[in-house]
């Protein structure tokens, strides 16, 4: 009986641990998804920034050429 009781307790403990780990994995997946979304937004913002800087530099160069 003791072995069966210990096995039952161990099984219950493992099931509880698996459930907790499943919840943690779900939370981590959500967090990773949020971070990936933020990275996509940052990449888009960075691309826009690069285009704007490039445009501004071209305008400066054109202005300098005209004033020579």
pLDDT of amino acid 5: 74
What residue segments make up the domains of the chain, in order of their start? 1-68
Model confidence band, residue 2 (pLDDT cutoffs 50, 70, 90): low
Residue ranges with strand state E in the chain? none
The pair of structure tokens assigned to 20 is: 């907790």
pLDDT in tens, 8-66: 999 999 999 999 999 999 999 999 999 999 999 999 999 999 999 999 999 999 999 99
Which DSSP symbol is given to 67? T
pTM: 0.68
CA dihedral 31, 37, 43, 47 (to 10 degrees): -160
Question: Radius of gyration (Cα) for the chain, nearest Å?
Answer: 29
């Amino acid at each position: 009986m003791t072995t069966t009781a210990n096995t039952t307790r161990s099984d219950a403990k493992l099931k509880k641990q698996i459930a907790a780990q499943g919840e943690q994995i779900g939370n981590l997946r959500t967090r990773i998804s949020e971070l990936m979304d933020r990275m996509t937004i940052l990449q888009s913002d960075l691309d826009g920034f690069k285009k704007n800087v490039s445009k501004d530099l071209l305008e400066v160069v054109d202005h300098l050429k005209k004033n020579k």
